[in-house]
Structure 1
């Protein structure tokens, strides 16, 4: 958590889980029962409600002590049915990141240079896995998976933008690395095939398709989806559209 540019370390997994859960719905009351479930699962102790109040009080003290600002305790507000993080959504990194990626998806075809700049800035916000050390509650784990998927989409869009501007040669190693980390992600395979083809490496592009197809069949029992199949067909036909770049 950062306040006025100063990082605030939140001690303890349960306090971090509270901050994360509230941050995922800024300006909205999170019911007490959701927080109890997030912190203790399906079998909370009898003292869970009182323990939650104690954790909230400790969290407020931590925020005040580390920031040196008494008013920061009001960021965590109590309502009859739960608690709320009293911050606008645009002050939350996860919300801003998701918004940038959604906008990039709409603009990448016509404004690739702007998309590259915005996505680089957004991806620079990441310093590790999403919602690290926030426990195993369903809210944080689901949000973590969603944010990680959005991060991959951001990387795909960034590659799309670079390819649109003719960056196929320098993009090949980056896509190869991404595909090695996510070997079943078909969009990375499509992008690598295109980058290789544009670099005059048609045989390597076809081998990439065969390798990913084999892995999909061996691990999931699936054939490649329409994206990979269409890219393969376009390469085999040597479609001129594969060489088109942004104007």
Structure 2
């Protein structure tokens, strides 16, 4: 049994797979699943579907709930969607966290980050690879959603980038170097303002024996972060650059960026990797 939100909205059982066709019904299902079995008030669901709910919003929501129940019935899951009448009304979709791919995604991310903090790099690598294998595309594709709900979707994109970023860092610490450069470039193509990824690129070139490549990566990092975003690079990245210029192999190898030493899985708001307030799935 699996509710899939990563790359499409589907309900899968051992016997059948249901694709939710209606965009607003998908939106309701996604909003309920993101609550991971908690009550979702009618007001919360209205605010998840519309930035400015129309006068007919409550009636429309009841229709969408009825259609969702009909879809769930195809997989013998109709009774999972319960209604609460008090306090303005609420709904709950009864699910276990292991039945929702985004919940598994977050759980594995937290486990992988914990292993990184403990220094268990091989175990962390395995767990983060499992988490990333769940990703089939962004959350909420093709569903009706408000800006508030889309902001929650963005948190999963950011969490994925953070996992990829920390996985690269772990592999650098495990001795891999230039073979990681294509992956780092992919991260930077998505998140060009992510300072940690620039640090990984500098280290990958340097530890792979390409000093000129490391210096060029520094130049591109400062141009991107400074000229385009107007940010000063961090003291840590400057220290890494000095270590490269001094050919200080030990300092480059021991470099630890702020993301890898962070104690939580919150990820930073747009632009990707820029300094800012945290958002959470």
Q: What is the Cα deviation at residue 141 of structure 1?
A: 0.6
1:149 partnered with 2:154? no
| Matched position secondary structure for 2:19 | coil
Matches of 2:67 and 2:53 in 1, distance apart? 23
Map of 2:259 onto structure 1: none
Residue 100 of structure 2 corresponds to which residue in structure 1? Answer: 92
Greater Cα offset, 204-213 or 126-135: 126-135
Q: Deviations over 1:210-234 (max 9, x none)?
A: 1121122222111212332232122
In the other structure, the counterpart of 1:101 is 109
Query: SS of the counterpart of 1:83?
Result: strand
1:137 is the counterpart of 2:146: yes
The residue aligned with 1:159 is: 168
For 1:42, the equivalent position in structure 2 comes to 52
Select which of 59, 75, 83 maps to 2:80: 75
More helix by share: 1
**More relative contact order, 1 or 2 (CA 8 Å, 6+ apart):** 2
1:193 CA drift (Å): 0.6
Offset of residue 157 of structure 1: 1.5
Alpha-carbon distance between aligned partners in 2 of 1:228 and 1:133, rounded to the nearest angstrom: 40
Q: 1:16 aligns with which of 14, 17, 26?
A: 26
The TM-score, its normalising length taken from structure 1, stands at: 0.90
What is the aligned partner in structure 2 of residue 125 from structure 1?
134
Distance 1:63 1:21, change over 3 A: same
Structure 2 distance, partners of 1:21, 1:184, is: 30
Q: CA deviation at 1:244?
A: 5.7
Matched, 1:116 2:125: yes
The 4+ residue runs of structure 1 with deviation greater than 4 A are none
Unaligned runs of 5+ in 1: none
| Counterpart selection for 2:236 from 205, 221, 227 | 227
Q: 2:252 aligns with which of 220, 242, 246?
A: 242
> Contact 2:46–2:53 (CA<8 Å) still a contact in 1?
no
Does the 8 Å contact 2:161/2:187 carry over to 1? no
Q: What is the Cα-based RMSD across aligned positions, in Å?
A: 1.9
Q: Distance in 2 between matches of 1:10 and 1:91?
A: 17
* Contact residue 134 and residue 140 of structure 1 kept, 8 A: no
Q: Which runs of 5+ in 2 are unaligned?
A: 1-9, 256-281
Q: Match for residue 42 of structure 2?
A: 32
1:19-45, CA deviations, whole angstroms, 9 ceiling, x for partnerless residues?
110111122111101112222322422
Equivalenced residues, count: 240
Map of 2:3 onto structure 1: none
